[in-house]
Amino acid sequence: MPTTLSDHLLSQLDAALRAVSGGTRAVRPTPSAEVSDLPLAPGARRESGTLMRVNHVGEVCAQALYQAQALTTRSPALREQLLAAARDEQDHLAWTEQRLAELGSRPSLLNPLWYAGAFAIGAVAGRLGDRVSLGFVVETERQVEAHLDGHLARLPAEDMRSRAIVEQMKRDEAGHGQAARAGGGVDLPAPVRWAMRAAAKVMTATAHRI
């Protein structure tokens, strides 16, 4: 039986509720499963918790972006590509949430707001056409890779469990960007790229605290 618009909308609602309520479950085991949980000093634990909260917010936004782009494309093949990427991001979301709990930290209190804003942006990108939508994925993943590199530099050296998660996330994000480029993603105009960076800075600065 073909999927109807109602089916898609119900799927979007379910994804949104899971993303903001902590109901997401990973398909792949967390990369930290085989890594020793070394003792962390209180300051190092707080720093790791803050950084992983920001990463968790990024994954909430990723869910919203991919779900919105999948909803607005008319291409079944692209929809499946976007939803496959969203499934990887669901793993990231679950992994970071689990690590936050291990660190005694918490998700951002503004996750519903982050999700709603990112969904609106993804819907606009999707409505501008598939090549622009894919270009948006390319640029988003490029910026996310740079962001994760920064976190790998800042995470305490002894926090190998968080580092293992971030390293796998970075590999997955690179793969999503490469697939989007191969699928015909176009380069976004410089002002759009700058606006995306500015919005990301506001989000990360806020998520550090709230």
3-state DSSP assignment of residue 38: coil
CATH number of 91's domain: 1.20.1260.10
153 falls within a domain: yes
Rounded CA separation 102/17 (Å): 23
Tens digits of residue pLDDT in 74-121: 888 888 888 888 888 899 999 999 999 999 998 888 888 888 888 988
Residue range of the domain that includes 123? 5-16+39-207
pLDDT at 94: 92
pTM of the model: 0.85
Determine, yes or no, domain membership for 159.
Answer: yes
- 157 lies in some domain: yes
Q: Is residue 130 part of a domain?
A: yes
**Other beta carbons less than 10 A from residue 6's beta carbon:** 8
The reply to whether 80 falls in a domain is yes
**Residue 14, phi-psi category: left (phi > 0), alpha (psi -120 to 50), beta (remainder):** alpha
Domain count for the chain, please give it.
1
Distance CA 105, CA 70 (A): 32
- Tokens coding 8: 């898609």
User: Would you say residue 28 lies in a domain?
Assistant: no
CB-based contact 180:65 (threshold 8 Å): no
